[in-house]
Structure 1
Amino acid sequence: MNHKVKLTILAASCFGLGAFATKLADEKITVPMLQQAQKLIGLNFTTAQLDSATSELEDFKEGYERIRKVPLPNDVAPAIVFNPIPVGYEWPKEQEKFKIEELKKVKLPANREDLAYYSIPQLASLIRSKQITSEELTKFYLERLKQYGPTLECVTTLTEELALQQARQADKEIKAGKYKGMLHGIPFGVKDLLATKNYKTTWGATPYKDQQINMDATVVERLQNAGGVLVAKLTLGALAMGDVWYGGKTRSPWDLSKGSSGSSAGSAAAVAAGLLPYAIGTETLGSIVSPSTACGTTGLRPTFGRVSRHGAMALSWSMDKIGPITRSAEDAAIVFNSIYGPDGKDLSVYNAPFNYNKKIEPKKLRVGYLKKDFEGKYGFKENDLAALEDLKKAGIELVPMELPDLPVNDLILTISVEGAAAFDELTRNGKDSLLKQQHKSAWPNIFRAGRFIPAVEYLQAQRVRTLLVQQMQEKMKDIDVYISPSFGSSNLVVTNLTGHPCVVVPNGFQKNGMPTTITFIGKLFGEAELLALAKLYQDITPHEEKHPTAFLAQK
């Protein structure tokens, strides 16, 4: 037998990692195999010690086979739930009334195309004042999706029949005086890893491109209950990585030669191009922040445990989060208000209030910033420093701070292990070869490599993660919100591991014309204060009001 083949089989079977579906995996475990395999993980047991372990490892291997016979669809979560809450941490318990100022003097634009970039409060005012019906608005956005969606490659499925049905129902309810709030009658789209009844849920990946899950994800259900009109399923990089999906590569509306980044690629591209007022994205490690930057949108990544993931594709049970991609922080607050909170199905969700209203005074918040990161080569330095100056001029006192000093990048193995488990069957049946991306950094290789990470090392990493959670609490004990460059800094990794919420907002442009963003990070369950400060920044700057035109040239 080839030495490398032996090593591969062994490392997969003898350390609790699972043998691959091959006849070679039935070979009896021997001491020489273990001697080679232990080199992969930096151990040095003696020959006698390894010999003593062989029978136990054979039992493990037999157990793996029995476990594999139990059907485990993607929606079955492990019995272990990540807890982002530091020891002694408490959030406010009282739920206050959510309050957004209603706009009463909004008029239909002379050029109907200008509707494409109206905010949620503006559109809500037009609908409530009966200047436009939900059906008319829905047809308007459906037409834009049909016209520009193929250029941006941002749509997997138009839900036109459902959308028109929901829009007509919204019009009936509003006419009868049963107004449900600002989302009533407003069209929206969702990243196509959220299940929707009677429509495909493709996860952006060839092996699942015809998959139909006959249910509505909790987020979809809640938006529809709020009167929202689902008009489209939007692209994501295959299995939530990047912007390459089974149908192509999603484009940034600012420059069609560039991808929209990922993995909430279609959600960000569609909102930026005015094909939708808002959309839902997800983030495990940058999948709201990154496409929002490439497309110039506002993206809210809520606290881990804020929004139910029931009906969403699982990649990493301890890191996946769902949030809105919008035109502004205020729009994000409106959408978030309809989707957060427990549903009794996702057991990671906490019952914490969201008290976004006029009582929050952004200038009284304690605001930090990662001083060393703004001084370094991270992010988009000129625009980032200008953002700090804008906030100072607005009366915000900025306090320098630093992140914990722990090997956070090494904790990313969390995604490799949990992703390998979530897509175990895809790896073992060889259908991972159907994914378009097959390079070394693509999912097929990451999932295979994840099989070689021992359970002990995974758990040790989670123990370091516990330290990270506690140390972040100490760093933020006197801070309500802090500011970071969106990229380059370790902040993106740290806060995705700890579960802290962030809002990424446009703050200018690069020399090549592509947008840039800056990131605001809040306390756990501190979305209200976080969004209030981001809104203040957007009130004093014009960046979110600028819209792309590159995509208009091609229809």
Structure 2
Amino acid sequence: MSIDRRQFLDACSAAGLSGLFPGALYAQVAEEGDDEAPITTEHVATAESIAGLAFTEEERELLVENLNETLEQYEALRTHALPNARAPATIFDPRRGGAEIPEVSPSDDGAEVPLPSIDRPSADQDLAFASISELAHLLRARKVTSVELTELALQRLRRYDDRLHAVISYTEDRALTAARQADDELDAGTWRGPLHGVPYGAKDLLAVAGTPTTWGAAPYKDQTIDETATVVKRLDEAGAVLVAKLALGALAWGDVWYDATTKNPWNLDQGSSGSSAGPAAAVSAGCVPFAIGSETLGSIVSPSTRCGVTGHRPTFGTVGRGGAMALSWTMDKLGPIARSALDCAHVYDAIRGADPDDPASVDVPFPFEAERSAASLRVGYLHEAFEEDYGNQAADQTTLEVLRGLGVDLEPVSWNADVPVGALLNTLDVEAAAAFDELTRSGGVDDLVRQGENTWPNVFRSARFVPAVEHVQMDRLRVDLMEQAHAVMQDLDVLVSPSFGGGTLSITNLTGHPCVCLPNALRPVDEGPDERREPGSISFVAPLYKDQNALTLAHAVQKETEVHNRRPPIR
């Protein structure tokens, strides 16, 4: 039987030996110079040491028979094209940890946010940095038009993008058509809500019919997808105006995409982090009031921190992912990046809800009250994490003091996770490798800009060698982690954590808990112009399906502080 690299990989998978390094073993077969040589017991014996297994010679003989008999079956699987959007039959459900979805009332009106009464700013720069609530009032009162705001957003994006590299493509014709429609409706007295007529940007992993959807990656830079993502449709219905598709690190990792590295408006010597690199940079620079990002393992929290803006990673499943690039079906979430928690609440209210194109999505209520007292919330904090020595410690301690000044009784807590969280994160690697299986097998990963150890090409290849049995065990242990996290969160309304400390980022991305990351520091940069800064952040985590709690506490803190209102030196 002739065997090629792909068949050998399939054979190892069939035997539960996909944790081995098939490429090396195939090379051993090839060196024997016999194209007809099947997998032998000697190959299996070599593989055992890599997988940490030990079989008898008799067991190897039986195993070899199975390996060589199943090659055709696995070849048959490969003949069926699987689009990136095709989710597995198994659906991740965060409720396995013990949480329940609050009942959705037929009269659920969502967020309660009064609009401020203000005059139109005299300077366009002030208009560019206005909040969504302020813009909503100005638009509704007809003190500004949606066309004006849309043209301002497009102008600022074009003005700064030679330095920021935040835009992959503009949607100008679509935007101006939507803006004119919004103005016509507002002139006629029709108001769809606080996003009506407000421009925004979308991470370029969201499909928009008639526009490129590149996923930030060279193999897909000419890709168009003839559909529009559910989240974009919902923003269309809310009257928001999409002005640009914004950069993401290739295939949702980092800030390096096929054309450039997206930069941090607070320090242009630095990338904006990622993978929601363009959304965070564009919001920070006052180019758009908000943007839609995504997070699988830090892709909203990290760029929001780097660029000094507010990011909201919603509860898993509360925002439909139809039309979004899949990286990890059990960990991907879509959410808003804006300048404040209040702005994030406006956007989340518009995009939440079940999606027929996302089998993991659910309907949830959102009883957000902007004026709710912070003192009414039960708040825990990861006291041991805050005592460690880390870069943003002083700013985080100041935020804890702001909370105490608001009457919050901070209760010291710990995650008490006794499962190997790092090992569970292999789930992401395996699902991402499956999502881009064909790209790896075809060699298309070689066209990605970033190559080397800590990059997608290497991760995709390495993940092929995670044994199927261990992958299932990860899934089972993940339920233990979910139960342990629920035990901590069920007696709290919010948990406060360093954004990158205490294991919170990894744990909550695996369990699906929502997080609001708010800027709380602008530290001077040692080298370079004096006006450059290094932003820092703190994170508020809420129980599953209670995003309003984290947003409420973040809003209360931001009413007492000014960091989120500061403007970067690029302006």
Shared fold, TM over 0.5: yes
- 1:17-48 CA deviation, whole Å, 9 max, x = no partner? 49789996985221111111122221112221
**Residue in 1 that maps onto 2:543:** 523
2:464 is equivalent to residue 457 of structure 1: no
Corresponding residue of 1:213? 225
Alignment-derived partner of residue 451 in structure 2: 438
Does 1:424 find its partner at 2:434?
Answer: no
**Structure 1 residue 71 displacement after superposition:** 1.1
CA contact (8 A) 2:328 2:428 kept: yes
Q: 2:564 corresponds to which residue?
A: 544
In the alignment, what sits opposite 1:223? 235
CA distance change for structure 1 residues 358 and 283 in 2, over 3 Å: closer, same or farther? closer
- For residues 47 and 276 of structure 1, what CA distance do their matches in structure 2 show? 66
Q: Secondary structure at the match of 2:425?
A: helix
Letter aligned with residue 386 of structure 2: F
**Higher alpha-carbon deviation: 287-296 or 104-113:** 104-113
Whether contact under 8 Å (1:205, 1:239) holds in the other structure is yes
Tell me how far 1:457 sits from its aligned partner: 0.4
Q: Secondary structure at the match of 1:54?
A: helix
Q: Which amino acid aligns with 1:166?
A: A
What SS class does the counterpart of residue 109 from structure 1 fall into?
coil
DSSP 3-state at the match of 1:100: coil
The 5-angstrom pairing of residues 405-424 of structure 1 reads 405-424=418-437
Name the CA distance, whole Å, in 1 between partners of 2:418 and 2:354.
33
In the other structure, the counterpart of 2:191 is 179
Tell me the residue number matched to 2:528: none
2:174 aligns with: 162
Q: Secondary structure in 2 aligned to 1:353? A: coil
Quick check: 1:34 aligned with 2:52? no
Q: Provide the secondary structure at the position in 2 that maps to 1:15.
A: coil
Is the CA contact 2:523–2:535 (under 8 Å) kept in the aligned structure 1?
A: yes
Matched, 1:43 2:53: yes
> Distance in 1 between the 2:6 and 2:177 partners?
59
Alpha-carbon offset, residue 379 of structure 1:
5.4
Alignment match, 1:257: 269
1:351-500 equivalences under 5 Å are: 351-357=363-369, 360-378=372-390, 380-403=392-415, 404-500=417-513
Measure the CA separation in 1 of the matches of 2:490 and 2:115: 37
AA partner of residue 489 (structure 1): G
**Aligned twin of 1:288:** 300
- Matches of 2:250 and 2:325, distance apart in 1: 11
- The CA deviation at 1:104 is 4.8
2:83 pairs with 1:77: no
2:553 corresponds, among 508, 512, 533, to: 533
Aligned ranges for residues 3-42 of structure 1 at < 5 Å? 11=12, 14-15=15-16, 17=18, 27-42=37-52
Alignment correspondent of 2:65: 55
Distance 1:78 1:99, change over 3 A: closer
Q: Deviations over 1:507-547 (max 9, x none)?
A: 11234221100000000001011110110011111110111
Q: What is aligned with 1:111?
A: 123
User: C-alpha separation between the residues in 1 aligned to 2:341 and 2:419?
Assistant: 31
* CA distance in structure 2 between the partners assigned to 1:104 and 1:287 by the alignment: 32
CA distance in 2, matches of 1:177, 1:7: 65
Change in 2 beyond 3 A, CA 1:353/1:453: same
**Greater Cα shift, 346-355 or 521-530:** 346-355
TM-score w.r.t. structure 2 length? 0.92
The 2-side partners of 1:70 and 1:352 are apart by 36
Q: Deviations over 1:43-62 (max 9, x none)?
A: 11222112111222223332
Percentage identity across paired residues of the two chains: 47
Counterpart CA distance in 1 for 2:36 and 2:405 is 69
SS of the residue corresponding to residue 516 of structure 1 reads: strand
Q: Match for 1:270: what amino acid? A: A
Residue pairs, 1:216-365, within 5 angstroms: 216-357=228-369, 360-365=372-377
Matches of 1:548 and 1:26 in 2, distance apart? Answer: 65
Structure 2 CA distance, aligned partners of 1:234 and 1:437? 19
Letter in 2 for 1:433: D
**Offset at 1:101?**
3.3
Output the CA distance in 2 between the equivalents of 1:6 and 1:179: 57
Partner of 1:65: 75
TM-score (norm 1): 0.95
User: What are the Cα deviations for residues 259-281 of structure 1, in whole angstroms up to 9, with x where unaligned?
Assistant: 00000000000000000000000
Q: 2:207 aligns with which of 195, 214, 227?
A: 195
C-alpha contact (below 8 Å) 1:7/1:33 kept by paired residues: no
Aligned 8 A contact 2:12 2:67 in 1:
no
Q: CA deviation at 1:406?
A: 2.0
Q: Distance in 2 between matches of 1:26 and 1:476?
A: 59
Q: Is the 8 A contact 1:289 1:504 kept in 2?
A: yes
Residue 466 of structure 2 aligns to which amino acid in structure 1? I
Aligned-partner Cα distance in 1 for 2:6–2:172: 54
Write the letter of the residue equivalent to 1:492.
L
Secondary structure of the 2:311 match is strand
Asked if 2 retains the 8 angstrom alpha-carbon contact of 1:98 and 1:357, the reply is no
Contact 2:215 2:250 in 1 (8 A): yes
Letter aligned with residue 382 of structure 1: A
Unmatched 5+ residue regions in structure 1?
none
Q: Would the alpha carbon gap of residues 99 and 39 (structure 1) be closer, same or farther in structure 2, given more than 3 Å must change?
A: same
Give, in whole Å, the separation in 1 of the partners of 2:37 and 2:517: 52
User: Offset at 1:357?
Assistant: 2.4
Alignment check: 8 A CA contact 2:309 2:519 kept: yes
1:248 is paired with a residue of what secondary structure? coil
SS of the residue corresponding to residue 514 of structure 1 reads: strand
Equivalent-residue separation in structure 2 for 1:54 and 1:39 (angstroms): 16
Report the Cα offset of residue 136 of structure 1: 1.0
- More displaced stretch, 304-313 vs 18-27: 18-27
Judged with a 3 Å threshold, the aligned counterparts in structure 2 of structure 1 residues 30 and 390 are, in CA distance, closer, same or farther, namely same
Distance, in Å, in 2 between the alignment partners of 1:379 and 1:75 is 39
SS in structure 2 at match of 1:157:
strand
Q: Would you say the 8 A contact 2:382–2:502 is kept in 1?
A: no
CA change 1:371–1:32 in 2 (3 A) is same
What is the Cα deviation at residue 97 of structure 1?
2.3
Q: Return the alpha-carbon distance in structure 1 between the equivalents of residues 381 and 470 of structure 2.
A: 33
Name the CA shift for 1:374/1:205 in 2 (closer, same or farther; >3 Å): same
Aligned match of 2:155: 143
Match of 2:529 in 1: none
SS of the residue 1:210 aligns to = coil
Count residues with an aligned counterpart. Answer: 547
Contact 2:15 2:66 (C-alpha < 8 Å) held by counterparts:
no
SS of the counterpart of 2:411? strand
Amino acid at match of 2:259: G
Whole-angstrom CA distance in 2 between matches of 1:488 and 1:523: 19
Q: Describe the SS at the equivalent of 1:303.
A: coil
Work out the CA distance in 1 between the residues paired with 2:130 and 2:272: 22
Letter aligned with residue 352 of structure 2: Y
